[in-house]
Structure 1
Amino acid sequence: MKEIDAKDWQIIRELQQDGRLTNQELAARVNLSPSPCLRRVRLLEEAGVITGYSANVDPRACGLSITAFILVALQRPERDAVENFEKSIQRIDEILDCYLLTGEADYMLRVVVADLEEYERFVRKRLHAIPGISSMKTSLVYGTVKSSRVFPHSHG
């Protein structure tokens, strides 16, 4: 794994804020000439620090007005049940994120759907179809206070 220095952190933060920067623009923002800047970006990509580039899209603007966080507990955290659950989750497009947790719940899912009727269909037909779930607790999002993909500045 590449050692991330302060200049790498500058590059990472700039790209997290705007992944469409040209190498020229990025180099100017981090006070490097274009060639060493590009070399650093390529090394960060090769080391798996930068894993890809994507657009941040407002789900509501795309007709996905319901965001839900679902805490899921499995009946038995045995290897087969865990593998089956995790493979099933990978195939469900409405689930954007799945986190493995400590504490009472085993997983937290972030789900987006168009409306409450679609959410009900999703739970009944997709989640309930996965064997081994003992409980699910849902919280619906009705507002976003902060949403960021930029890491804290204190790193580096």
Structure 2
Amino acid sequence: MHETRTPLDETDRRLLAALQRDSQITNDALGSQLNLSPSQAGRRRQRLEAQGYVLGYGARLDPEALDLAVQAFVQVQLSTHGPEQGKSVTRLIETRREIVSAWTLTGEADYLLRVYCEDLGALNRLIHEVLLPHPAVARVQSQIVMDQPKRDTGLPV
């Protein structure tokens, strides 16, 4: 459980922005950027982590270097909308490595899935052998990403 969140000041926001740019930044470098001592920067970082502003750290990997040539967004529409159907689809989504993120939506589609596959055949198998056969799924629509002019960025802090 996280500590009670205190309101962010401008230095906290600058610290969070710096962590989004480089999660491995040292307290020395962080302190230098924020005009704080390394220990002050470290304490602020620890407080923001403890209060749940920072959810975790990770590396951004190059999909092409990992032979993941196809990125797609897949919309899934359910046939029925009971709690069990939603739980069942969520369990399915959680088991599939190629589904890297998922959202529930308002509108025609119930889920939006972001997927990375090694090729179009793998995307086809995901749609036709995994998603469409699921008893709660009525319809699937996919959009293949041609280019990504703006890469994923950090949150606007």
TM bucket (normalised to shorter chain) is over 0.9
Query: How many residues are matched?
Result: 153
Alignment of 1:1-156 (within 5 A): 1-152=5-156, 155=157
Distance, in Å, in 1 between the alignment partners of 2:131 and 2:72 is: 13
CA distance in structure 2 between the aligned counterparts of 1:12 and 1:47, rounded to whole angstroms: 13
What TM-score does the superposition give when structure 1 sets the normalisation length? 0.92
What amino acid sits opposite 1:95 in the alignment? I
Is 2:100–2:114's contact at 8 Å kept on the other side of the alignment?
Answer: yes
The ranges of structure 1 where at least 4 consecutive aligned residues each deviate by more than 2 angstroms after the TM superposition are: 128-131
Partners of 1:126 and 1:2 lie apart in 2 by: 44
* TM-score for both structures, normalised by structure 2: 0.92
Structure 1 gaps of 5+ residues are: none
Offset, 1:20 = 1.5
Structure 2 runs not aligned, ≥5 long: none
1:129: Cα distance to partner? 4.0
Give the stretch that moved more between structures: 39-48 or 118-127.
Answer: 118-127
User: What SS does the corresponding residue of 1:62 show, helix, strand or coil?
Assistant: coil
- Which amino acid is 1:100 matched to? T
- Structure 1 position 148, deviation (Å): 2.9
Cα deviations by residue, 1:34-83 (Å, 9 ceiling, x for unpaired): 11111111111111110111111110111001001011111111111011
**SS class of match (1:108):** strand
Asked if the contact 2:132/2:138 (under 8 Å) is kept, the reply is: no
CA gap 1:77/1:32 in 2 versus in 1, 3 angstroms: same
In angstroms, what is the RMSD of aligned CA positions?
A: 1.2
What CA distance in whole angstroms lies between the structure 2 residues aligned with 1:37 and 1:59?
33
